[in-house]
Amino acid sequence: MTLYFGDGSNISSFSSVPSSLLSGALPAISGAALTGVSGVVVDAASSYLTSENNSRYGTNVLTVSVSPTSSNNKVIIICNCEIKNNHAQYVTTAQISTSGGSDLGDYRNSYRISSNNGYDRHTFVEYDYASNTSTRTYHLHISPNNSHTSTPAYWKNCALIAICFNP
């Protein structure tokens, strides 16, 4: 067999090439020799809501839990939410609270929105660095900064995701 190339050169001797390649068959590929592969997902949980809700008090909107299998496992928490407060002098706050773990903590405020304006979309990510095998529970907590009846917190299109992995 001779292979011809566009520049006029060719190869006609294949003594070092296995005959299986010359016949068009590919050798079997095995993953048995792979080592050092990391980042295995151990557990994951998600929760979401799309409907509009409101409260004039702080509310746990969504809750998810994951269970580490080793004290080396870590958790990434991802949150999306749309929040607002219909009163121009008040804001709505979204934050993640944690039990069983140690997250870095983060919170988001709505901008000061005048009545009937649109929602503020927030996405935030937290990292739970605890070194234990306790079940980790995460809550999306949304609240207004005032409990007056005309200043409730509003939310919709919220999602809370926790991914427990072995780094």
Rounded Cα distance between 9 and 7, Å, is: 6
pLDDT at 97: 85
Q: Phi/psi at 20 (nearest 5 deg)?
A: -65, -30
* pLDDT tens digit at each of 167 positions of the chain: 666 666 666 666 555 555 555 555 555 555 555 555 567 899 999 999 999 999 988 889 999 999 999 999 999 999 999 988 877 778 888 888 888 888 766 555 544 443 456 788 888 888 888 899 999 999 998 888 877 777 888 899 999 999 999 98
**Which domains, from first to last, does the chain contain?**
40-166 (2.60.120.760)
Residue 136 class from Cβ within 10 Å (0-12 exposed, 13-18 middle, 19+ buried)? buried
Single pTM value for the model = 0.70
Residues 6+ away with beta carbon under 8 Å from 33: none
Q: Which of 157, 119, 142 is nearest to 54 (CA)?
A: 142
| 110 within 8 A of 120, measured Cβ to Cβ | yes
pLDDT at 144: 86
Q: What CA–CA distances, in Å, run from 124 to 24, 47, 81, 104? A: 50, 15, 9, 12
